[in-house]
Amino acid sequence: MITTRETRHEAYIQMSGKREARHALILDILGNRQMTASEITEALLARGVIRYYDRNFVAPRLTELKQIGAVTTVGKRLCPRTGRNVAVWAKKEA
C-alpha cells in the first residue's frame, strides 16, 4: 500500500505545474457547450494539443474543476466510444 501511495503522490507532484494550463484548455474547449470527457478529449486531439486519444488527460482535471466550482455536470448521454452513459459537463454560470 505504501508504494501505491508514494506513486500517486509522485504523479501529483509532477502535475503541479501543468494542472492550471490543462484547466484553461478544458474551459476553452467547453466554451458555452455541454460536452463529455470523451468529446473534450476528441476536441483536444483535433486541435493537435494531444497526439493520441487519452481520456486521462481530461477526466481528472474535470474532477478538479468541479471541486473548485468552475464546471458542473448537467446530465448524461450515451458515449459512442464505450456504449455507456457518461457525465455531460458545462461551465458553471457565475
Q: What is the pLDDT of residues 38-93, one digit of tens each?
A: 999 999 999 999 999 999 999 999 999 999 999 999 999 999 999 999 999 999 98
Range of the structural domain that residue 29 is part of: 19-91
Distance CA 65, CA 62 (A): 5
- Across 1-15, 16-30, 37-51, 61-75, least confident range: 1-15
* Residue 12 forms part of a structural domain: no
Give the chain's domain count.
1
Q: Note whether residue 77 is domain-resident.
A: yes
* Residue 23 pLDDT grade (very low, low, confident, very high; cuts 50, 70, 90): very high
Is residue 84 domain-resident? Answer: yes
pLDDT at 72: 97
Contact call for residues 29 and 71 (beta carbons, < 8 A): no
Closest CA to 55 of 68, 71, 39: 39
Global pTM reads 0.82
User: Is 51 inside any structural domain?
Assistant: yes
Which region, left, alpha or beta, applies to residue 76 given φ > 0 means left and ψ of -120 to 50 means alpha? beta
Q: What is the CATH number of the domain that holds 29?
A: 1.10.10.10
User: Domain for residue 24, yes or no?
Assistant: yes
Cell numbers 454560470 correspond to what residue?
93
Whether 38 maps to a domain, the answer reads yes
